[in-house]
Chains A and B, each alone.
Chain A
């Protein structure tokens, strides 16, 4: 039986040379993201913005009508509402945060029930007050920062300092581009998006660590190999695994996009894109980055030290 090979067994592709392409590209996308982020901003969900979200499902025998719902919702006078159709005839209505604290928000719900109870079932009702949303933003941001720091520490102990730095650069790159994805696609940014970003942090590091593990090993084996060649060898020899894992993860996420339902579609789409971004950055960003921070000087000198010690011990 012939087995499937997604990547040739022997490959000698010069990935490092492509950095002259990938670095400007990544830099451009990152800067563009920051600009877009500042100009347009994220499409925050009520988790972070506060407000009321209502999801309506037409009752049996009723055909949903976005136009009428939008008109009715706007006529309440609660400010700018966002009305969207999704799935099979379901409609989501987002009301902005109302002044007057708790009573203000309750009023929104009452009005919505009065107006839509006849034709629609309320699938989901969510109200988040201003203070909660502020705290969620805070804890979300702290979470991402903390995880990056924690992983940096871990890598620092497990690997050489240069490798840890390379991994973090790649991870930050992936976070920035993912955020950019949220800005451009207008996919709602909520608590689940934070989960997506943290998972991407994990996946991104996973990819980089696999390559760097090999780099570390090769560094000890080929003490005099030029850095560029060494890094190319690291990537080429791990490439078949990279492609295979990316493929299996992407396939399962694709299943989630297609069959996982509306509620986590945004999450699944972002994760799917994340797998592509992370795979790209491990190969074209964090690894070539090592060339610039002098892997030669720090890490390999150390490697030479420990191996000479070993020899002495033997």
Chain B
């Protein structure tokens, strides 16, 4: 009746053994683990030793999480501006003039050409600016980046399409993740996790960081560096930009960019030889060096504006052509600022401004406290449930208790191997699982009691108990699992951690509470052949 096939028994025990082995590393520190592996004799196959410990969430080990969002307005502005440049170039190639320049609209540009002949020449060039969108997943979608409209009234309108904007946003997020990674790597923080979240968000997790504000500063600036000429008057193609030299007052700067940060190969903090002020030394690549050399030789005697994120950091006068491809940026920096600026320049510019929309920082002390509290709660809960089960079901309770301990071990083992993150709610999940895990055993045992009362023989009561309770166990665990799976998909951060533990807990119950206890009871019955059931 209670016979279990040898294959099934071996398979179950193997699964349990492997699961428990996987949980072992989590009870030791990293040093102890590496120490243990070193202490093994050289012939021992080390790959067999599990080394992965459970990953602790930021709420348990301390650290910060920052969620940044690509500023869509800023991205649109920069798209519109570069579209204007493209249109200007296209018109120049076509050799036509506009009547009254190129006007910016919220989502594109518009212009008016002098006559129909000019229009005939310019239109194909303008239409060529619109690119078909290739999607990594869908391939060619048929959508285009620009909508070129030729009004009968004589105006030509170029509008950035939704598809074009979305594809640009996607690229911007990917680019931004790269830049953020480089910036954080340059500051040398340990193991950051940088992930895309949704369509336009980036989640940055920094474990154990002491100064999250500094990282925030590093992430926020786009670090768009441009070299332009200071203009003589505010007429013509001129932008008015705030100047650090003039205490934030606006100064006219020519719109044409002579060289920009994209051509930098290196940037290092340093000190000015004369004033001993902190500065940033930079090096251009070949293209940048040529452009910079040409521009400086054409403009000797004039002031060049060094523009960082649309602010004039400094405007040194060009004393002689700078052809070596090297230069320096001064701007009343502190040592830290010069340091950070060089990091930003080396890492490259962000494609658009990023806004911090969520930040969570947990001090390492609080994390340690939480782990301690979690451990205490787990131990106390285990003791309470173990005692209750033993008091209610005697030796059967003992079997259930063994299954319970194996169950908790399996959750930890599975979490280690799946690299699931343990969070504070996750610990709560484990404690809750301890309470509910015995439910399957309770269902079985109560059923066995009933069957015994109904006058069945011991083996058939046991058999019936397991068989009849099984359907109920499946139904009750399935409903819980459905709720847990939805919790996993809808929840964020720590709540996800709770859901993971809960799902794993439900899965392992079936192995431990049903199969393992059944094996123990079968073995016990075959050995002792009791006349009455002690239940």
Q: Which residue numbers of A lie inside 8 Å of B, CB to CB?
A: 1, 3-6, 9-10, 55, 57, 101-102, 105-106, 109, 113, 121-129, 131-132, 136, 139-140, 142-143, 146-147, 150-151, 154-155, 158, 191-192, 194-195, 198-199, 201-203, 205-206, 209-210, 213-214, 217, 237-238, 240-241, 244-245, 247-256, 258-261, 263-264, 267-268, 271
Contacts and interface: CB of A to CB of B under 8 A. Distances in A.
A191 B493 contact: yes
B487 A195 contact: yes
19 contacts: A5-B392, A113-B213, A121-B363, A129-B356, A146-B490, A192-B494, A195-B425, A195-B487, A198-B483, A202-B482, A206-B436, A210-B472, A248-B384, A248-B435, A251-B385, A252-B431, A253-B435, A255-B384, A264-B427
Interface stretch (B83-91, B145-153, B438-446, B515-523): B438-446
Contact of A251 (B366, B384, B425, B495): B384
Contact of B377 (A102, A150, A199, A255): A255
A6 to B, nearest CB: 7
A263 B483 contact: no
B385 A125 contact: no
B428 A256 contact: yes
B424 interface: yes
Nearest to A9: B453
B449 interface: yes
Contacts of A102: 355-357
B67 A132 contact: yes
Interface residues of B, number: 79
Nearest to A127: B359
B359 A126 contact: yes
B19 interface: no
A169 to B, nearest CB: 15
Which 4 residue pairs are nearest across A and B when measured between Cβ atoms?
Answer: A261-B373, A143-B490, A252-B435, A249-B435
B486 A260 contact: no
B358 interface: yes
Interface in B64-92: 67, 69
Contacts of B372: 261
Interface stretch (B341-349, B412-420, B473-481): B473-481
B355 A202 contact: no
Contacts of B486: 143, 146-147, 150, 198
Contact of B428 (A132, A143, A248, A260): A260
A264 to B, nearest CB: 5
A252 B434 contact: yes
Contacts of B366: 55, 57, 123-124, 263
Contact of A240 (B59, B377, B446, B479): B446
Contacts of B362: 123-124
B495 A3 contact: no
Nearest to B437: A248
B380 to A, nearest CB: 4
Nearest to A153: B482
A1 B428 CA distance: 34
Nearest to A146: B486
B272 to A, nearest CB: 30
A121 B213 CA distance: 15
B292 interface: no
Given A203-B436, A248-B442, A209 B479 contact: yes
Contacts of B434: 252
Interface string B487-516: 101111111001100100000000000000
A206 B446 contact: no
Given A195-B425, A259-B377, A263-B370, 14 more contacts: A6-B392, A57-B366, A125-B212, A126-B360, A126-B361, A150-B486, A244-B388, A251-B435, A252-B384, A255-B380, A256-B432, A261-B369, A261-B377, A268-B428
B391 A206 contact: no
B483 A147 contact: yes
Contact of B479 (A139, A205, A237, A271): A205
Most chain A Cβ neighbours within 10 Å, of B389, B393, B468, B484? B484
Contacts of B472: 209-210, 213-214
Given A136-B492, A142-B490, A256-B431, A249 B360 contact: no
Given A127-B358, A251-B388, A57 B365 contact: yes
A238 to B, nearest CB: 8
Contact of A256 (B357, B377, B389): B377
Contact of B439 (A128, A142, A245, A263): A245
A154 B486 CA distance: 14
A195 B499 contact: yes
Contacts of B356: 102, 105-106, 127, 129
A256 to B, nearest CB: 5
A18 B187 CA distance: 68
Contacts of B392: 3-6, 244
A240 B447 CA distance: 10
Given A6-B392, A151-B482, A191-B493, A253 B487 contact: no
Contact of B385 (A142, A217, A241, A248): A248
B476 A252 contact: no
B483 A255 contact: no
Contacts of B385: 248, 251-252
Contacts of B394: 1, 3
Contacts of A259: 373, 376-377, 380
B535 interface: yes
Contacts of A121: 363, 365
Given A143-B491, A198-B486, A248-B385, A206 B361 contact: no
A68 B13 CA distance: 60
A109 B212 CA distance: 11
Given A206-B439, A255-B381, A147 B432 contact: no
Contacts of A256: 377, 381, 428, 431-432
Nearest to A10: B453
A221 B131 CA distance: 72
B374 to A, nearest CB: 7
Contacts of A136: 492
A3 B480 contact: no
A251 B490 contact: no
Given A245-B442, A260-B377, A9 B361 contact: no
B191 interface: no
A206 B476 contact: yes
Most chain A Cβ neighbours within 10 Å, of B378, B446, B453, B483? B483
Contact of A125 (B67, B361, B374): B361
A214 B447 CA distance: 11
B535 to A, nearest CB: 7
Contact of B480 (A192, A206, A238, A271): A206
A209 B212 CA distance: 48
Most chain A Cβ neighbours within 10 Å, of B373, B392, B438, B479? B479
B450 interface: yes
Contacts of A268: 428
Nearest to A5: B392
A1 B534 contact: yes
Contact of B483 (A113, A128, A155, A199): A199
A210 B389 contact: no
